[in-house]
């Protein structure tokens, strides 16, 4: 058998897994079922300390875990609850959350090690890496995924709004047209004497501006309209239907005095929408 690298007069009992040198019983250190020479054992395991995590102020914080904690900085109280760092709840106080985020980023690792029991340093570091990933994902989503979604959705929203405006304009035109037809029927008019040919949205003067006694002669009951007493015009809003020597009572064929779009009409009562009001 080959001799020990440190004691040439002694037989070796194995080789160091770190440097490969042969060692005797005296020079051998067995750790975790592996053989190390004494110098390599001292070098490899001189920094190993007892796991004191979760012991509060009495805990010894390993140098390996010191540093910035992205999970604590980004997730604030969520990270704090998950790591027993209750001071993170101060982030709920207005104007404190940003400052608290910086403090947690700097001190988070230390506080988490002291306040919660961890299996090992590797367990701690792996868990904090996970918290960091969870905190960064929303940011990545905001900067990369959201613009893509917005690029797809916003044009469709615009088209949807456009369709809604088109349908609203068509509905308003249909209501105005129906109201003109109803007015002409109620007043026994085959044609409008003085149709409005300049675009307007004022239903108080639409669709006809006939003057009582000239073009607006006789009411549906056979009575004559009196100029200066009865209301002029055949209009959709506050129309004087009764030739009774006064401007009341009146009839409304539309709900409001003003429409969103503008309209003209010909003598046959056909209404044209000039503008929709959505341009």
- Whether the per-residue pLDDT at 31 is higher than 80: the answer is no
What pTM was computed for the model? 0.46
pLDDT digits (tens, 9 = 90+) for 110-146: 999 999 999 988 899 999 999 999 999 888 877 777 7
Please report the DSSP string for 91-124 in residue order. Answer: GGSTTTHHHHHHHHHHHHHHHHHHHS--S-HHHH
What is the average pLDDT value for the chain, to the nearest integer? 89
- Whether the per-residue pLDDT at 32 is higher than 70: the answer is no
**pLDDT, position 76:** 94
271, with CB counted inside 10 A (0-12, 13-18, 19+), is: buried
- Whether the per-residue pLDDT at 157 is higher than 90: the answer is no
**pLDDT, position 111:** 96
**Of the spans 20-34, 48-62, 71-85, which averages the highest pLDDT?**
71-85
| Cα gap 17→196, rounded to integer Å | 104
**pLDDT, position 48:** 54
**pLDDT, position 208:** 95
Q: Where are the domains of the chain?
A: 1-48, 56-116, 119-279
The alpha helices in the chain, defined as continuous H runs, are: 38-45, 70-75, 77-82, 97-115, 121-140, 146-186
CB 12 within 8 Å of CB 2: yes
């Amino acid at each position: 058998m080959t001799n020990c690298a440190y004691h040439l007069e002694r037989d070796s009992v194995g080789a160091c897994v770190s440097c490969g040198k042969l060692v005797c019983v005296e020079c051998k250190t067995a750790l975790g079922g592996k053989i190390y020479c004494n110098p390599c054992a001292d070098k490899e395991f001189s920094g190993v300390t007892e796991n004191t995590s979760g012991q509060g102020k009495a805990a010894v914080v390993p140098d390996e875990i010191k540093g910035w904690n992205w999970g604590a900085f980004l997730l604030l109280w969520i990270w704090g609850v998950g790591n027993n760092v209750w001071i993170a709840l101060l982030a709920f106080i207005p104007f404190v959350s940003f400052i608290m985020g910086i403090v947690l980023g700097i001190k988070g690792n230390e506080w988490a090690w002291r306040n919660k029991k961890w299996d090992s340093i590797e367990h701690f570091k792996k868990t904090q890496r996970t918290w960091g990933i969870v905190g960064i994902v929303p940011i990545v989503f905001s900067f990369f995924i959201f613009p893509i979604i917005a690029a797809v959705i916003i044009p469709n929203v615009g088209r949807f709004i456009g369709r809604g405006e088109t349908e609203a304009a068509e509905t308003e035109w249909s209501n105005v047209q129906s109201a003109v037809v109803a007015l002409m029927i109620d007043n026994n008019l085959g044609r409008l004497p003085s149709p409005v040919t300049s675009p307007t949205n004022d239903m108080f003067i639409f669709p006809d501006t006939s003057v009582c006694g000239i073009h607006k002669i006789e009411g549906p009951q056979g009575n004559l309209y009196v100029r200066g007493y009865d209301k002029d015009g055949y209009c959709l809003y506050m129309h004087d239907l009764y030739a009774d020597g006064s401007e009341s009572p009146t009839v409304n064929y539309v709900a409001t005095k003003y429409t969103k779009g503008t309209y003209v009409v010909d003598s046959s009562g056909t209404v044209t929408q000039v503008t929709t009001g959505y341009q």
